[in-house]
Amino acid sequence: MPKQTESDMRKTVDNPADYGDRDAETSLMIIKRIFESPIFNPIDGRSPYFQPCITQVLIELNDVLQKAAKKNLRVTFTDDIPQSAKAKDITDLINDCRNASCHVPSGKRIFENNKFTFCVISGYSPQAMFINGTALECDYHDDIAIFWGNTRLYLVRHLFRAFHEANAVFSDL
């Protein structure tokens, strides 16, 4: 029998793609547990645990949404995503926010020569921040807007909804 190389030892017998649905189910379970935690019941955007919880949700949800897209089951809603945004749908928006949240030197955190890293605006706040003619705001009384640079993610209208739609994709399989 030939000697196994280190590269051979890292290979698995099963195709890693076979684990995709199970990985997605695990990620969805993690997200559900985070959303059921005291940080979100009621939502406490001032908690020191809010940002790391959102970051973990973005990591897990991005992975699930990318897996759904590979199955031609992409989550594509565009509500409250500006047409001027680079993101064409929620799958892109979650990916952008995940990258901005996880990569400290990310250019996605820069807006008008300022660095906006996880700026939280709770409830209806028109023009909460106004920079060089651009308003950074939350348009809804019942939601929280989180900004990385000028990229806005709504907690309820984007994150919760994307979770529920991704959950439906994988529960139907």
Alpha carbon distance 141, 147 (integer Å): 17
Strands (E), the chain: 110-111, 114-115, 117-122, 125-131, 134-138, 144-148, 151-154
Alpha carbon distance 31, 58 (integer Å): 9
- pLDDT of 10 above 60: no
**Per-residue pLDDT tens over the stretch 40-82:** 887 878 899 999 999 999 999 999 999 999 999 999 999 999 8
What residues form DSSP beta bridges with 72? none
pTM attached to this predicted model: 0.85
**Residues 68/166, Cβ–Cβ less than 8 Å:** yes
pLDDT at 1: 52
